[in-house]
Chains A and B, each alone.
Chain A
Amino acid sequence: MFHRTKTLAAAFAASTLLASPLFAGELVINTDTSDPAPKAAFEALIAGFEAENPDVEVTWNLFDHEGYKTSIRNFLTADAPDLANWYAGNRMLPYVNAGLFEPVDDVWDEHNLHETLASSEGSMTIDGQIWGVPYTYYQWGVYYRKDIFEANGIAVPKNWDDFKAAGAKLTAAGITPITIGTKYLWTAGGVFDYLNLRTNGYDFHMALTKGEIPWTDDRVRATMANWKELLDAGFFLDNHAAYSWQEALAPMVQGEAAMYVMGNFAVAPLREAGLTDDQLGFFQFPVINPDVPLAEEAPTDTIHIPSNAKNKEDAKKFLAYLARADVQTEINMTLGQLPINKDSSVGDDKFLQAGYEMLSSTDGGIAQFFDRDAPAEMAKAGMEGFQEFMVKPERLDKILERLEKVRNRVYK
């Protein structure tokens, strides 16, 4: 971690300090946006905020991803910043329950965010209160090699039978249908989410991740049976447990695999590896049960005010600024993701446009992601079970019983 006081901010602060020392406020922001694009986005965001609020001096502490997950627990209790980024859904529940996040309903009321940020109000609400402001999200779906599909005469699959037929054609041509790397488990969670959302629908999926439905339920078994169909047909990359998600990009780039069930962040490395937009395409995960309304997966990133923050007034100003349509447009242009504010405009990248179109017409509901919807312990056990199932499908009963045991413990 390193401290970064923007020189710009210092200059502003110095000039305002001379003019009106009483109004100079210091705003401390902690984020883990250390990758190049998010870092640039936050730099611009903070500079923009400072330009509009010359009396506020922003101190920005940048953390690396992995370290942040541990640090946030320490700094929320011991030395709280005024703002910190985190994630929507169940992922913020422990901090809300421990009273470490401040409810920000007043910001939402005052700036009409109930309307402009309506799509994610649900995932920001716990116990009837709103706990932060979302600023970006991105779609999940199937990224595929257009050229390989065309070469094998495959059309974009719309339903389960098409999807299986496409896989059969690909395997016949010696191509692995879906690449995946499950070493860090969560990729398997994405596949489960989609299979379950398409088999049983959004409400069931949310009830399952909230612990209201036993893992041994027949509807879960139906999802797993669909998954097993894919496993039996050799849909997934061999030895996926040895690879990370980045390593699993390689077979797709080399043309040995044709599809990847992934989030939109996979596009950047695929392009860097040399795939052009003519070779790379995106489609919505196909329909399995036609009676189930289509729900999608779109994890939302958020910013919160810790309860122990010192400068809540300016923090709320910052949240209001962050929620604005033009600000969200700009930050998401840099991030290469989708803005939450419905009045923002979306970058003209074709994957962003596809994602925007898909998500804005989604009527089934928007899930966050398995490890954000389910509590941490359940998520870990679940994703480990999915990985095991993908290699040893015959152990299904044992796996589901184990998950059920965890469920009974976690949601008391």
Chain B
Amino acid sequence: MSAYWKKNQQRLAPWLFLAPGIFMFLMYVIIPIFQSVNISFYAWDGLGEREWVGAGNYVELMDDEAFYTSLKNNVLWLVLYMLAIPAGLFVALFLNQTVRGIRIYKSLFFFPFVISQVVVGLVFSWFYDPKYGLLNIFLTSLGFEAIPVLADETWVTYGIIAAGLWPQTAYCMILYLTGLNAVDPEQIEAARLDNAKGFKLLWYVVLPQLKPATFIAVVVTVIGALRSFDLISIMTDGGPWGSSRVLAFYMYEQAFSEYGFRMGYGAAIAVVLFAIMMIYISVFLYKMYRDERGY
């Protein structure tokens, strides 16, 4: 035994250190994925007997308007949430200066990321209130019609995304602020000597150096867009008539909410959501792999 250990210590040690992590990852990530896929082939209320329905849940999903609304909203979230990245960069550039009290300004801009998403949701619900909200007071004072953002099926998703962009921009800003600290002042100086300025300086000299920050910003923003659950739950509860749902929210509604408990159908939605995320995860992993190989 000890001879075996001596001989293979180098080989075994990493696995021993990895074991707790692997165990957790298997228990809480890998196995549940397969369980979800399994449950998605059953009709099950979480209490009684499961009934095998094969691809029944998926067939139903393909014929479900609510599913397509959620899917469309998910795409909207993914695309529009990306606005947080240029917005965060802009704020970071703006704040990256040495003025008296700049730390206070930085903290103020970072503030929305610190407060809970639930509070952000509530604040924006009041902001959008059809009668007493700031937005509509402003609109009506300019002579426009008031827009009941959260009660209007065309505006509601945009309204929630705007609320989500507020903290997300702050998050991207902080990433870029740290990134800007690492920008090489000599390169800037050299570029200045070559008479580069303004947008060209930003695009060709500063941004390439911010690439690691941009990468992280894209990752956290995509994740943020996909877990947009809390804002929707607080601001509209998926409404009006389900037009602000995203897949994660629809899955929750079907599987766990007061009127739900269709575990199989919820699992089927989760599997579709997982498949969509797989595309992104694969691209991400492929890029990581390529970067690590060094070409």
Report if A355 contacts B (CB, 8 A).
no
Query: Known contacts being A241-B151, A242-B130, is A98 close to B240, with CB within 8 Å?
Result: no
Contact partner of A185 (CB less than 8 A), chosen from B47, B239, B261, B262, is B239
Q: Which residues from B are CB-within-8-Å of A402? A: 65
Query: Known contacts being A384-B242, A409-B60, is A94 close to B258, with CB within 8 Å?
Result: no
Contact partner of A69 (CB less than 8 A), chosen from B48, B131, B258, B262, is B258
Interface size class of B (residues with CB under 8 A): 20 to 34
Closest to A95 in B: B47
Interface size on A, residues (CB 8 A): 32
Contact partner of A77 (CB less than 8 A), chosen from B47, B60, B262, is B47
Q: Which parts of B238-263 form the interface with A (CB within 8 Å)?
A: 239-242, 253, 256, 258-262
Report if B230 contacts A (CB, 8 A).
no
Closest to A242 in B: B151
Are the C-beta atoms of A387 and B130 separated by less than 8 Å?
no
Report if A7 contacts B (CB, 8 A).
no
Are the C-beta atoms of A377 and B259 separated by less than 8 Å?
yes
Contact partner of B259 (CB less than 8 A), chosen from A100, A182, A371, A391, is A371
Contact partner of B151 (CB less than 8 A), chosen from A70, A94, A97, A240, is A240
Contact with A along B255-285 (1 / 0, CB 8 A): 0101111100000000000000000000000
Chain B min CB distance to A52 (Å): 35
Chain B min CB distance to A367 (Å): 18
Query: Known contacts being A100-B47, A241-B151, A242-B148, is A184 close to B237, with CB within 8 Å?
Result: yes
Report if B236 contacts A (CB, 8 A).
yes
Are the C-beta atoms of B45 and A94 separated by less than 8 Å?
yes
Considering the chains assembled together, what is the distance between the CA atoms of A366 and B116 in angstroms? 44
Are the C-beta atoms of A238 and B148 separated by less than 8 Å?
yes
Report if B150 contacts A (CB, 8 A).
yes
Are the C-beta atoms of B259 and A241 separated by less than 8 Å?
no
Most buried by A among B150, B237, B240: B240
Q: Which parts of B131-166 form the interface with A (CB within 8 Å)?
A: 131, 148, 150-151
Report if A388 contacts B (CB, 8 A).
yes
Q: Which parts of A238-260 form the interface with B (CB within 8 Å)?
A: 238-242
Q: Which residues from B are CB-within-8-Å of A185? A: 239
Closest to B256 in A: A70
Contact partner of B48 (CB less than 8 A), chosen from A97, A241, A376, A380, is A97
Report if B46 contacts A (CB, 8 A).
yes
Query: Known contacts being A239-B148, A242-B129, A409-B60, is A73 close to B241, with CB within 8 Å?
Result: no
Considering the chains assembled together, what is the distance between the CA atoms of A97 and B148 in angstroms? 43
Report if A385 contacts B (CB, 8 A).
yes
Chain A min CB distance to B172 (Å): 30
Q: Which residues from A are CB-within-8-Å of B262? A: 377
Report if A183 contacts B (CB, 8 A).
yes
Report if A333 contacts B (CB, 8 A).
no
Are the C-beta atoms of B259 and A98 separated by less than 8 Å?
no
Report if A305 contacts B (CB, 8 A).
no
Name 6 extra pairs, CB < 8 A, besides A77-B47, A240-B151: A73-B261, A241-B241, A242-B130, A242-B150, A379-B259, A388-B240
Top 6 A-B pairs, shortest CB-CB distance? A380-B259, A241-B151, A241-B240, A388-B241, A242-B151, A239-B148
Contacts A/B (CB < 8 Å), 20 sampled? A69-B258, A73-B261, A95-B47, A98-B45, A98-B47, A98-B48, A184-B237, A239-B148, A239-B151, A241-B150, A241-B239, A242-B129, A242-B148, A377-B259, A380-B259, A380-B260, A384-B239, A388-B240, A388-B241, A391-B240
Q: Give the A-binding residues of B (Cβ under 8 A).
A: 45-48, 60, 65, 128-131, 148, 150-151, 236-237, 239-242, 253, 256, 258-262
